[in-house]
Amino acid sequence: MNPPLYPLPRPFAREQAQLQARGIGSWEELAALTDAELRQLASRGGALERQLRKLRGQAQLVSELALQPHEAALLLYAGIASSQGLAVASPQQLLTQLGRLERSLLGMAPPRVDAATVRRWIQRAQARSGRSAN
């Protein structure tokens, strides 16, 4: 089951308004937008192209790897911007990066992402890209 696109987090309110006005209603539709379409959306007022690119990157991870939106956002903020980047990531290094990021966002709360989850994500990305496991 595909997660809903809306509502987006509050910092993306302008971008959400532009996407809704354009009739973009799913992560798959957002993932399929071209650079030119993102520029056009941004030029119509309110939306920032940089923010739209972040959302498209998140949407591509959600669509290509069946991730939840919050998982894809976490990967983006940890420096993984594509399924190809995830496919070549070191599981231990990525787990360390994600742990640091989660601690900076959530304090000392228990981490939400564990080693098995990271390995599963990397395996999905490798399967999608045709890469063999490390």
pLDDT in tens, the chain (134 residues): 678 999 999 999 999 999 999 999 999 999 999 999 999 988 877 779 999 999 999 999 999 999 999 999 999 999 999 999 999 999 999 999 998 888 887 677 666 789 999 999 999 999 998 766 55
Say how far apart CA 43 and CA 49 lie, in whole Å. Answer: 8
Backbone phi, psi, residue 18, to 5°: -65, -40
* DSSP type of residue 2: P
Say how far apart CA 98 and CA 27 lie, in whole Å. Answer: 23
pTM, entire model: 0.86
CB–CB of 49/39 below 8 Å?
yes
Taking the CA atoms of residue 43, residue 46, residue 15 and residue 101 in that order, the dihedral angle to the nearest 10 degrees is 110
Two tokens, residue 13: 């309110």
Q: What is the pLDDT of residue 133?
A: 58
Residue type, 13: A
